[in-house]
Copies of this chain bind each other. A is one copy, B any other.
Amino acid sequence: MIRFENVGLRYGNGPEVLRDINLELEPGSFQFLTGPSGAGKTSLLRLLFLASKPTRGLIRLFNQDVATLQRDELPDIRRRIGVVFQEFRLLDHLTTFENVALPLRVANQRSSAYRSDVMELLKWVGLAEHANVYPPVLSGGEKQRAAIARAVVGKPDLLLADEPTGNVDPALAVRLMRLFLELNRFGTTVLVATHDTHLISQVKAPVMKLDRGLLTEAA
């Protein structure tokens, strides 16, 4: 599914943010990624959702070398990946419903086809009543839940979640984690980057620890 071989990443002329990363994720696995602030968690995820390219090393994703991907191949691969961004990245001019349905709309699906699915998902994350409002009026936790819903709405093969519970209470965090586990049961590979030790302790899953760009397996 995912394989990193000696991957290194630096931004511009700065120091290496990621160094000699070697990792392998089996299809259908569930994995935590943790580490102090600024360790490079988000940077590692960015490599996976093709938002940056490594300065060295090899990344294989869905059995393809990402270095050989053409620009017009990216959309198809990205549609197989769901991402919960650390800073949510909701579009303020679209309603919660539209934000969550965006991956489907962008893939040219007709809104009549996905309407009920999306509404059901919104109910699940507790946003049914907020379907028609715009992100600026959502609370922090509500935004985060909308971001999560958008990431999972397309039933992706790979789910990347960056600090997905930083703005919700512990009870809700567990509920959202259940959503990820559910998806995982149906075959989605899940990678969750988080600081939340409480959350990690509640799910039996391997933990990778990043520290100043270096990876240490299992805490």
Contact = CB atoms under 8 A, between A and B. Distances in A.
B195 A169 contact: yes
A121 B51 CA distance: 32
Q: How many of these chains are in the complex? A: 2
A198 B198 contact: yes
Nearest to A193: B140
A123 B126 CA distance: 40
Interface stretch (A100-108, A160-168, A181-189): A160-168
Cβ-closest 6 pairs across A and B: A37-B141, A166-B166, A86-B140, A169-B195, A36-B169, A37-B168
B37 A169 contact: yes
Interface in A34-59: 35-38, 41-43
A59 to B, nearest CB: 20
